[in-house]
Amino acid sequence: MLDALTVEIGDRLAARTVELPWPVEPFGPVAEVQEAIGTEEQMRDLLPGVEVAVTEMAPFTRRVIEAADALKLIVVCRGGPVNVNLAAATVRGVPVCYAPARNAAATAEYTVGLLLAAMRRLAEAHRDLKDGRWRGDFYAYADAGQEMEGKTVGLVGFGAVGSRVARVLRAVDAEVLVADPYVDPAAVTAVGATVVPLDELLPRAHAVSLHARLTPETRHILGRDQIARLPRGAVLVNSARGGLLDYDALCDALESGHLRAAALDVYDPEPPPSGSRLFRTPNLTLSPHIAGASRETAERAALMAAAEVGRYARGEPLRHVANPDALGRGAA
């Protein structure tokens, strides 16, 4: 980040840095903002005199923003500034920039990997072979994995990640259905996919992958009733947000055999508690919320954030502003 800022604005940079414990420690809610780490007190001590703040996970709550006397710009190196109270920033006239799609390629590639892992039983084969068990029984018809080609895959959400996943799936000749009430149908058709309502997608899908943002509207968008509508033997993947999926219902469906397999990268809460059912449920592949973690994601986010700081320093229009109503108001 510092290298990117130096390239962008040169010797005008006077930086104060602080390291927060994420990603070694998971993020969570801090006061009224979500997916943050650190404390309000820590931030209030750091920000006096700071004109521009660039962050990944620091909590910019109402109290923090009100205490930042010189703050003129917040830049968040993420696809959405969920760790910032946008309303409070807008009242203060502080624009909040972000880095849309900075991890879209990484997350899409990882999602396809999760789909393959679930459908072809990669994690089980790896684990058992390391434990000394040769799983030749996976050649048996009843236990063999399934190919992606010719299958119908349902995507719930069609943003920067979902659209990339759709293109990969079409390249291996899967049929792709998309449920997203906000999508432009022409964009879906352009990649060879089809827009359908969620109620139509579910009974047709051999596999479902979640790509929606977590909002009150989408919380548990796949609950017990929706999972029950999937065909017996379907596969379910979630690399978006844990709150989109009812995990008790998922575990029940895996234990009963209604679902053949599932793969998860996100949880609710994170990390799952040590006694979680997820660790005892069969046919479930798990990873620790790393779908978007790649070196290219970090490099891309740094360049996008530095570019916004450069535009601000040169008096140019900002590009990716989450609260455009703050523009021109000036900090109160």
Please tell me the distance from the alpha carbon of residue 249 to that of residue 255, in angstroms, as a whole number: 10
Q: Flag residues of the chain having pLDDT under 70.
A: 330-332
Omega before residue 269 within 30° of 0, cis: yes
SS3 175: strand
SS3 194: strand
Q: Are strands 284-286 and 194-195 parallel, antiparallel or unpaired?
A: unpaired
Please tell me the distance from the alpha carbon of residue 37 to that of residue 19, in angstroms, as a whole number: 11
pLDDT of residue 66: 96
pLDDT of residue 13: 81
Two tokens, residue 322: 């989450």
Task: Report which residue type is found at 69.
Answer: D
Catalytically active residues are 241, 270, 289
What DSSP designation does 222 have? Answer: B
Task: List the domains of the chain with CATH numbers.
Answer: 2-102+294-326 (3.40.50.720), 104-286 (3.40.50.720)
Please tell me the distance from the alpha carbon of residue 152 to that of residue 67, in angstroms, as a whole number: 52
Tell me the pLDDT tens digit for each residue of 170-207: 999 999 999 999 999 999 999 999 999 999 999 999 99
Tell me the pLDDT tens digit for each residue of 126-138: 999 999 999 999 9
* Contact criterion met (CB below 8 Å) for 2 and 15: yes
Please tell me the distance from the alpha carbon of residue 45 to that of residue 50, in angstroms, as a whole number: 11
In Å, how far from its chain's centre is CA 269?
Answer: 14
Element (H, E) at 166: helix 160-171
Please tell me the distance from the alpha carbon of residue 187 to that of residue 156, in angstroms, as a whole number: 15
pLDDT of residue 332: 46
Please tell me the distance from the alpha carbon of residue 290 to that of residue 271, in angstroms, as a whole number: 12
Q: What is the pTM assigned to this prediction?
A: 0.92
pLDDT of residue 330: 62
